[in-house]
């Protein structure tokens, strides 16, 4: 994740490719209940930070770095689209009862689309970062950009050129990456070894 950007512009073709890749993400029932709010005009990006930041005029170093990203994308999920899709004849959940859902697939699918956007940025040699919308700023973001009630931003992706060369920002410098043998269970929970 990159949290400090230079002021170099992002090629719109990269943004278009990221969005084209995003809609190739898997989606439950091919519901495709996602949408993407794309901010690439400086005044729009500024309005996003104005809606979410507490002190735009005296930003802390995190905010100052993040605000430099020329592109901001909010992947959104639409639960209603999934409930309607799974009430269709081939699925048949006509009661649209949410307890039928093993997981909130609407958020999962939007998150998978988000990862494709992040990967496309990396492929293009750019930096990106995924963050959330603070709950107490959700209404302000909706208001600022006209996001309808039946869509929820699952997060925010900043995209731009990394400031300060290639040095990784790197949480692994301060927190260890958990080892695979602690996370992978083979055949039975608690067994890490193969065979």
Q: Which residues bind ligand FMN (CB under 6 A)?
A: 1, 3, 129-132, 155, 169-172
Instruction: State how far the alpha carbon of 128 is from the alpha carbons of 8, 94, 105, 166, in Å.
Output: 14, 40, 24, 13
In contact, 45 and 10? CB cutoff 8 Å: no
- Determine the longest span between alpha carbons in the chain, in angstroms: 59
Tell me if residue 96 falls in helix, strand or coil.
coil
Instruction: Please give the Cα distance from 195 to 186 (Å, whole number).
Output: 8
Segment (H or E) for 183: helix 180-183
Least distance between ligand FMN and beta carbon 127 (Å):
9
Nearer to ligand FMN, 61 or 99 (CB): 61
Least distance between ligand FMN and beta carbon 150 (Å):
22
In contact, 120 and 14? CB cutoff 8 Å: yes
Q: Is 185 exposed, middle or buried (0-12, 13-18, 19+ CB in 10 A)?
A: exposed
Nearer to ligand FMN, 175 or 188 (CB): 175
Nearer to ligand FMN, 26 or 132 (CB): 132
Nearer to ligand FMN, 35 or 157 (CB): 157
Instruction: At 177, list the tokens.
Output: 């990456």
Least distance between ligand FMN and beta carbon 100 (Å):
25
Least distance between ligand FMN and beta carbon 139 (Å):
18
Tell me if residue 9 falls in helix, strand or coil.
coil
Least distance between ligand FMN and beta carbon 89 (Å):
35
* Among 22, 1, 49, 12, CA closest to 120: 22
Least distance between ligand FMN and beta carbon 113 (Å):
13
Nearer to ligand FMN, 96 or 171 (CB): 171
Nearer to ligand FMN, 38 or 129 (CB): 129
């Amino acid at each position: 994740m990159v949290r400090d950007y230079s002021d170099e512009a992002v090629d719109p073709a990269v943004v278009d490719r990221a969005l084209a890749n995003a809609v190739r993400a898997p989606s439950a029932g091919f519901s495709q209940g996602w949408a993407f709010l794309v901010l690439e005009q400086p005044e729009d990006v500024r309005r996003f930070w104005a809606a979410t930041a507490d002190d735009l005029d005296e930003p802390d170093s995190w905010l100052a770095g993040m605000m430099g990203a020329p592109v901001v994308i909010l992947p959104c999920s639409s639960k209603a689209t999934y409930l309607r899709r799974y009430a269709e004849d081939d699925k048949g959940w006509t009661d649209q009862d949410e307890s039928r859902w093993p997981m909130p697939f609407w958020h999962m699918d939007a998150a998978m689309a988000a990862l494709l956007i992040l990967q496309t940025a990396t492929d293009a040699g750019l930096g990106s970062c995924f963050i959330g919308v603070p709950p107490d700023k959700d209404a302000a973001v909706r208001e600022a950009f006209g996001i309808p009630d039946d869509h929820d931003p699952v997060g925010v992706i900043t995209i731009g050129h990394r400031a300060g060369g290639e040095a990784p920002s790197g949480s692994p410098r301060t927190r260890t990456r958990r080892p695979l043998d602690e996370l992978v269970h083979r055949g039975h929970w608690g067994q890490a070894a193969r065979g």
